[in-house]
Structure 1
């Protein structure tokens, strides 16, 4: 969800800023700006500071996005290898440069505008298209960001957008450039072609022993079985502990009395929140409303619609602040509250309907409460249990004996490669444990591997039972495979040599039809092909080579599907008839304008970084990227 919040925090601007990541470091030279100042500031751009908490959130989000693309969890060490740690800092430095520009220009965004932007954000709305306070709160909690911090980030993002709009307003692409790009993209070619199947080179004789030996040695990696490892896993999670627990009826009833509010259905009210820039404006509006003026008229006068101010059916906890909740729920019936100051400005709460709450009963929630308490107790105890297990392991107790004592299961997995497969290439079903394969391959047999986070409030232990090194298969065992691969390569090389000779003859002036007839083929003709076309006959490589050849010239390339080659002659080069009113032409203009705007923004940001000056706290940066703790 935070990805959605971050995307929306700057709207379309975020897409443009992605391109600044690599550029920023490339321009201002990361090695030159690292310093060793102390404190909790990771970097400074002029007087704009990037604190450790902001960097930690950004780095975690970048790692999560990269992990999703990879389809597996990403460790911090891997993140450093991919440069994600610096990319995250680069993005924040680019944003800080824009913040500095907004500050220098005196740009600001008021509470009312920020409030409207948040409450109308589609990513913060529930299934009925209204602002969902629960969704908002849960998202902030899950991603470790306070409400005040998020509001401030949104305010800054709106200021950045003003800067960017000023930079990019009025940008146009020259018509000559649009025409040149359009002609390049829309040019088509007609070609004559013949397909050369591998059967044209005839049978390939078996290689002699010396050739087999050399080919085997040169391609040893193709005949080497990968390293595999045998290991055992033991998992301890709260559910394993709850099996040994019993909560008395007396304790259960006491817990219910303490938590009754969690199970009671709260009162809900239909509420409009109308926000004003000042208390005076709110009081003027309240006088009009209580005097009979239609609420839609007052809302429209603010440049809003009723949908913008409608919170829907909400409880006290759904409201943006306690002050707003008190104002809405202290009304004895429907009506308007007095103006109240909230996080986003002065507001009037308009209650249009009331749905009474419904108290829970002990019998209805008893079993659900029992399960919740058992799980909480298990979570409290699980750390102590893992410490006891570690003490036993340190004393030399085998993992299997520890498992029996705690009624846990040890699972053994044998012969698995670093990519989670067998040597035969079959995928192995592994438990979903963070960083499991990395742990298996980063340690050796006999290592005392510390417990790892299971990702579900528990721990798991790994023991390396055996390391089976990579093994080159003897030639006698793979001879047939060696000969088969050599023949495939020889056949492909001979076919490419044939295609090369035919292209040379064609470019020397021989008739294509005459050349084709020698091999029992007829020259076929294509319909007009576009530059980026591809199909089962014409691969992208073949089409690219066709468009690189002059009119009348010959070339060849692989077919789109199969192992044949296709020899081609450019018969006709057709320039497009451009229509400035066509959708395609307009699309090209838009694409070029976007590219020019992006270049202007990049130039501005990099220039501002140089003007303001960039400093990075190398000591803190290294500390934060040296361990996965907290990420």
Structure 2
């Protein structure tokens, strides 16, 4: 497949198709791609909307953030859509868009001056030398992030408007004292309880299951026993790193690389200078005389309607006007030029520091060139062997034999699902999506794939060794495991019945100690418990919840696990010390205030979505990411999500 594609891309047919494709985009535009989905909008909220292209750009930023938070792990767009994360981002973006639209409708909008001031504070836009906001750096960073100046300014405006609104909305608000007092009293309240544990020691163990029991159990669990299709395959990988050690460095070839790359290896001469531009020769001469007389370029420019441009260690190619560049690189340090006629006007230059260019010697760059040579040769070997292997497989040759002839290693993979999951925790192929797809694209056991790209210069080919169809495993194959599960279920039922019996006896009036003694279960006192200490004590959460959720003298039971059930009694409830509760309420009031303020913000955003009649088009979002919607029928009749 890879070989055929390489050959096809070199043909005149492919080039002609690309010309037609570009022309069709120019004539018809991209709107037709989304035509079946009612336009290219992903979100509509009042007078605002988010287009498919805008959503895609924001999604790429979302993916980058995900990768940074997960130690470089990357997921494909298909995987993001399958996990539903695109919907999470879609809803977050809808909240922002709807709230911004609502603020527009009530007239909350920052001034242009405030927007510019906020942008000027962003460190990413500062010049690394001057430490100040730099317009060129600003534009470069925006281009790198595929964002226009207007898009950033709109986002900053929305952030300022949102901050202004919420600052005003919660100004002076504090959580009521009773809220904090109630929380403190509940947290510091102490409780005494007693428990004993009912388990398999308190029951008569059931007899081993008969064949009829296991068969009935198997039939009743068929739905849960269903397993996905498993495929086992063998793989041959073409990795440049595997060839590195076998490559001998050809010094003549490395020397030729040096000669070929010499122009790119040279460090050009750089200069720092100030250029003052003007529209007439007379003004330029006056500016030149003023600077030579001791004025600064800024003073001279102001007096003669000039404009100052500063160059900090730039090569000649970085000066846009070729005539001015040639003149500048002919001056000496400290020298001030006369009037220079450029392509668009006149200029005067005051020369600053000059750093002479340098040409590295062959010896100084030999190690790097040799490393590049080895990598290039390894890549060539990968290309050669992968093409040879591909040709052999297409000619019907044996997968293993071909690999052996080329000195390649065949690795047998673990049986895997269509998602790359295996029963071996150390073997997870889900991160190798192209590999898994290639295995599941093969028609039957014994068939082999063509050479496919794995990424980072690596290629692979797979042979399907075996297919285990989806479905429940045969009864005889799992009979032993079923017997264990049957026994565990029976034991759990008997333990639960014994615990229920003990609880019923307590409710009828028997003493806690007497019931525990009849079961030979030791009573464990749990005295002086409070909610703060429970989190550090290791007490099971279910048990702690039951103790703090009941009333004094109440009996209860709660499972600790499948075969251990705690039967308990709440002995006493001791209210919090008033002085301690008062001190805590003062300390936590600020936290409760912030929590309520967050709830206000969340409620306001949700209400804004309703007020501006927010509509989401998830299928358009999916198509924008290059993923096929799960149900093709929904593309034609896409419903709006609110």
Question: TM-score per shorter chain, which class?
Answer: 0.5 to 0.7
Distance 2:401 2:223 in 1: 41
Cα deviations by residue, 1:473-501 (Å, 9 ceiling, x for unpaired): 66667555444433333332222222223
Distance 2:568 2:332 in 1: 86
Q: TM-score, normalised by structure 1?
A: 0.64
Name the Cα RMSD after superposition: 5.5
Query: What is residue 166 of structure 1 aligned with on the other side?
Result: 164
Distance 1:184 1:553 in 2: 21
1:40-59 matches, within 5 Å, as: 45=45, 48=48, 50-59=50-59
Indicate the SS of the match to 2:528.
coil
Cα deviations by residue, 1:557-605 (Å, 9 ceiling, x for unpaired): 2348984534232521635724476333322222222222232233335
Q: Structure 1 residues 524, 161: closer, same or farther in 2, change over 3 A?
A: same
Q: How many residues align?
A: 524
Higher mean C-alpha deviation, range 150-159 or range 353-362: 353-362
Query: What is residue 252 of structure 1 aligned with on the other side?
Result: 257
The Cα of 1:402 is off from its aligned counterpart by 5.5
Q: Structure 1 residues 208, 105: closer, same or farther in 2, change over 3 A?
A: closer
The answer as to whether partners of 2:203 and 2:494 remain within 8 angstroms in 1 is: no
1:270-309 matches, within 5 Å, as: none
In structure 2, stretches of 5+ residues that fail to align are 1-33, 273-290, 297-311, 335-350, 630-642
Indicate the SS of the match to 2:147.
helix
Indicate whether 1:592 and 2:596 are aligned: yes
Q: Structure 1 residues 291, 554: closer, same or farther in 2, change over 3 A?
A: farther
Indicate whether 1:107 and 2:110 are aligned: yes
Query: What is residue 526 of structure 2 aligned with on the other side?
Result: 525
Query: What is residue 626 of structure 1 aligned with on the other side?
Result: 627
1:205-244 matches, within 5 Å, as: 205-209=206-210, 210-219=212-221, 228-238=230-240
Q: Structure 1 residues 581, 618: closer, same or farther in 2, change over 3 A?
A: closer
The Cα of 1:528 is off from its aligned counterpart by 2.1
Query: What is residue 303 of structure 1 aligned with on the other side?
Result: none
Query: What is residue 428 of structure 1 aligned with on the other side?
Result: 427
The Cα of 1:197 is off from its aligned counterpart by 4.5
**Bigger radius of gyration:** 2
Distance 1:571 1:362 in 2: 87
The Cα of 1:623 is off from its aligned counterpart by 5.8
The answer as to whether partners of 1:516 and 1:523 remain within 8 angstroms in 2 is: no
Q: Structure 1 residues 224, 148: closer, same or farther in 2, change over 3 A?
A: closer
1:191-210 matches, within 5 Å, as: 191-209=192-210, 210=212
Query: What is residue 633 of structure 2 aligned with on the other side?
Result: none
Indicate the SS of the match to 1:149.
coil
Cα deviations by residue, 1:507-545 (Å, 9 ceiling, x for unpaired): 444432333333343351322231893577731112222
Indicate the SS of the match to 2:556.
strand
Query: What is residue 11 of structure 2 aligned with on the other side?
Result: none
Indicate the SS of the match to 1:464.
strand
Indicate the SS of the match to 2:372.
helix
The Cα of 1:267 is off from its aligned counterpart by 6.8
Q: Structure 1 residues 594, 65: closer, same or farther in 2, change over 3 A?
A: same
The answer as to whether partners of 1:422 and 1:428 remain within 8 angstroms in 2 is: yes
The Cα of 1:548 is off from its aligned counterpart by 2.8
Distance 2:223 2:37 in 1: 49
Distance 2:558 2:352 in 1: 72
Indicate the SS of the match to 2:412.
strand
The Cα of 1:388 is off from its aligned counterpart by 7.3
The answer as to whether partners of 2:249 and 2:370 remain within 8 angstroms in 1 is: no
Distance 1:322 1:179 in 2: 66
Higher mean C-alpha deviation, range 90-99 or range 583-592: 90-99
Pick the aligned partner of 1:607 from 601, 611, 615: 611
Cα deviations by residue, 1:191-224 (Å, 9 ceiling, x for unpaired): 3222214244244031452434433443468888
The answer as to whether partners of 2:181 and 2:585 remain within 8 angstroms in 1 is: no
1:146-165 matches, within 5 Å, as: 146=144, 149=147, 152-165=150-163
Query: What is residue 361 of structure 2 aligned with on the other side?
Result: 361
Distance 1:321 1:583 in 2: 62
Distance 1:584 1:208 in 2: 58
Higher mean C-alpha deviation, range 469-478 or range 524-533: 469-478
Distance 1:552 1:321 in 2: 88
Distance 1:221 1:481 in 2: 16
Distance 2:468 2:111 in 1: 64
Distance 2:426 2:44 in 1: 48
Query: What is residue 468 of structure 1 aligned with on the other side?
Result: 468
The Cα of 1:36 is off from its aligned counterpart by 4.3
The answer as to whether partners of 2:389 and 2:403 remain within 8 angstroms in 1 is: no
Distance 2:209 2:618 in 1: 64
The Cα of 1:182 is off from its aligned counterpart by 1.9
Q: Structure 1 residues 240, 531: closer, same or farther in 2, change over 3 A?
A: closer
The answer as to whether partners of 1:542 and 1:557 remain within 8 angstroms in 2 is: yes
Distance 1:248 1:94 in 2: 60
Higher mean C-alpha deviation, range 525-534 or range 474-483: 474-483
Indicate the SS of the match to 1:169.
helix
